[in-house]
Amino acid sequence: MYMLSSKIKLTAIILMVVGLIGLVYGFLAAPDNVEEVKEMMAAEEHHDGSHAAVSNESTAQMQATEDASHNTANAEATGAGEGDHGDSHYEHLLHQLQSKPWSAIYVSAFFFFMIALGTLVFYAIQIAAQAGWSPVLFRVMEGITAYLLPGSIIVVLIVVFAGTHFFPWQNEELVAKDKILQLKAGYLNLPFFIIRAIIYLIGWNVYRYFARKYSVEQSNAAVNDYRPYKKSFKAAVFFLIFFILTEMTMAWDWFMSMNPHWYSTLFPWYVFSTMFVSAITVIAIVTVFLKRAGYVTFINDSHIHDLAKYMFAFSIFWAYLWFSQFMLIWYANIPEEVTYFIMRIEEYNLLFFGMLVLNFVFPILLLMNSDFKRIPHFVVGVGIIILIGHYIDVYLLVMPSTIGPNWFFGIPEIGSLLFFLGLFIFVVGAGLGKESLYPKGNPFLKESENYHY
């Protein structure tokens, strides 16, 4: 049995407390009205006058080009009454700055939530595929998916209450002026949005509940009684169908509709690839951690090798989808579609292309060698690079759409990252400790234990 050591527990709690302070600060520091925005801008100009003026200029330019983005639309909607262009600019800035702490929480909340969900998908695939190598890892995966319940509730609460901070189509004034948004109101309306979110929440968690239940039942079943395993198999297959459909609509709901004029058919699968590769990486890291602490002597370096191969393969898969989406939009250069990438390339240049190095170039070079994939600390090192890269990826899904050019990596971002990291460690640690890490009774367990590659 694994027990979360008091040292780790304390660390997790400290992370959460520190993170929470950062979060609260983020909300308090956000301006309440236009006057405060003006003061902030003045203070900034005091520091570096010419630079601030230039960046403001480029911000205004950006808004002019970013026609399809809600940012402009919002500014128009809120600033229309004022009439004065200068004020509408500050109104717009105010809205973006107020969205900043929300976005900061959401990026981290979704990042850790998607790791739990991706792990659940990987787990379901292993069961549905009757994999012979991975059963020794099942309890590790089940432990990680313990985070799914709190993580998904938090994420759903954020998207439901974020309102116009994230989703301009929830702004009624704006929709009244926008023909295209009216057309989409059949899908993009608040009640239906909430119903969908609740369906995802229930569906994913119900599968996680039953998967865990059957897994424990199988351990307690008589020899050669495989009924719980068979039930688990069926549940996994139906979950995978449910997942591929809900993941698609989830990506539309929670990310794509932040830019309600923009659309890309590949988008949901792209979000999935980020989720999946991050999850596999975390499985590998947690496994290495448990192995080094001596809890999982039945896991050998071949299992690590296989996980590293998945990290390698799905990093390439992610890059394939990233490139397909980017290249096709770049190549055709249709005005409605390119705004998405113009914002990201002009305002987030380093992150946007740096992420490619972290998520593609490093993994492909470092994990190519078969021997390296067996070295636990090497896999962890590459894993951390991959996780940083995919955090940036989620950051780039959200930030350019919600706060536009006003980004910087500050206290709210670090605070929320620390908070959710602490929560993740705490919940996953507790989840790992609930059952034996040895999944006794699994029909493929012996194959898995004797697995050598």
Partner 1 sequence: MSSHYEAPIREPLVIGDKSYHDVSNDVAAPVEGRANKSWWIVFSIALVAFLWGLGCIIYTVSTGIGVWGLNKTIGWAWDITNFVWWVGIGHAGTLISAVLLLFRQKWRMAINRSAEAMTIFAVFQAGLFPIIHMGRPWLAYWVLPIPNQFGSLWVNFNSPLLWDVFAISTYLSVSLVFWWTGLLPDFAMIRDRAKTPFQKKIYGILSFGWSGRVKDWQRFEEVSLVLAGLATPLVLSVHTIVSFDFATSVVPGWHSTIFPPYFVAGAIFSGFAMVQTLLIIMRKVVHLENYITVLHIEYMNKVILLTGGIVTVAYITEYFIAWYSGTSYENYVYLSFGAATGPYWWAFWALIICNFVVPLTLWVKSLRRNIMWTFVVAAIINVGMWFERFNIIVVDLSKGRTPSGWAMFSPTYVDIGVFIGTIGFFFVLFLLYARTFPVIAQAEVKTILKSSGEKYKKLRAKHGDD
Task: Give me the residues that bind partner 1 (CB under 8 A), please.
Answer: 130, 132-133, 179-180, 183-184, 187, 226, 241, 244-245, 248, 252, 263-269, 316, 320-321, 324-325, 327-329, 331-332, 334, 443-444, 446-447, 450-453
Burial of 120 (0-12, 13-18, 19+ CB in 10 A): buried
Minimum Å gap between C-beta 313 and partner 1 is: 8
Minimum Å gap between C-beta 207 and partner 1 is: 17
Nearer to partner 1, 17 or 183 (CB): 183
Nearer to partner 1, 330 or 353 (CB): 330
Nearer to partner 1, 76 or 337 (CB): 337
Nearer to partner 1, 79 or 363 (CB): 363
Minimum Å gap between C-beta 396 and partner 1 is: 17
Minimum Å gap between C-beta 11 and partner 1 is: 38
Minimum Å gap between C-beta 76 and partner 1 is: 19
Nearer to partner 1, 28 or 332 (CB): 332
Minimum Å gap between C-beta 433 and partner 1 is: 29
Nearer to partner 1, 13 or 248 (CB): 248
Nearer to partner 1, 133 or 166 (CB): 133
Minimum Å gap between C-beta 328 and partner 1 is: 5
CB atoms within 10 A of CB 354: 14
Minimum Å gap between C-beta 343 and partner 1 is: 17
Nearest to 406 by CA among 86, 104, 81, 155: 104
Minimum Å gap between C-beta 148 and partner 1 is: 22
Minimum Å gap between C-beta 317 and partner 1 is: 8
Minimum Å gap between C-beta 118 and partner 1 is: 17
Nearer to partner 1, 157 or 185 (CB): 185
Nearer to partner 1, 184 or 213 (CB): 184
Nearer to partner 1, 123 or 451 (CB): 451
CA-angle at 282, arms to 278 and 284, nearest 5°: 120
SS3 for the chain is CCCCCHHHHHHHHHHHHHHHHHHHHHHHHCCCCHHHHHHHHHHHHHHCHHHHHHHHHHHHHHHHHCCCCHHHHHHHHHHCCCCCHHHHHHHHHHHHHHHHHHHHHHHHHHHHHHHHHHHHHHHHHHHHCCCCCCHHHHHHHHHHHCCHHHHHHHHHHHHHHHHHHCCHHHCHHHHHHCHHHHHHCCCCCHHHHHHHHHHHHHHHHHHHHHHHHHHHHHHHCCCCCCHHHHHHHHHHHHHHHHHHHHHHHHHHHHCHHHCCCCCCCCHHHHHHHHHHHHHHHHHHHHHHHHHHCCCCCCCCHHHHHHHHHHHHHHHHHHHHHHHHHHHHHHHHCCHHHHHHHHHHHHHCHHHHHHHHHHHHHHHHHHCCCCCHHHCHHHHHHHHHHHHHHHHHHHHHHHHHHHCCCCCCCCHHHHHHHHHHHHHHHHHHHHHHCCCCCCCCCCCCHHHHHCCCC
Burial of 293 (0-12, 13-18, 19+ CB in 10 A): exposed
Please give the Cα distance from 27 to 412 (Å, whole number): 8
Cβ–Cβ under 8 Å, residues 55 and 63: no
Nearer to partner 1, 35 or 336 (CB): 336
Nearest to 443 by CA among 127, 212, 120: 127
Nearer to partner 1, 157 or 364 (CB): 364
Minimum Å gap between C-beta 131 and partner 1 is: 9
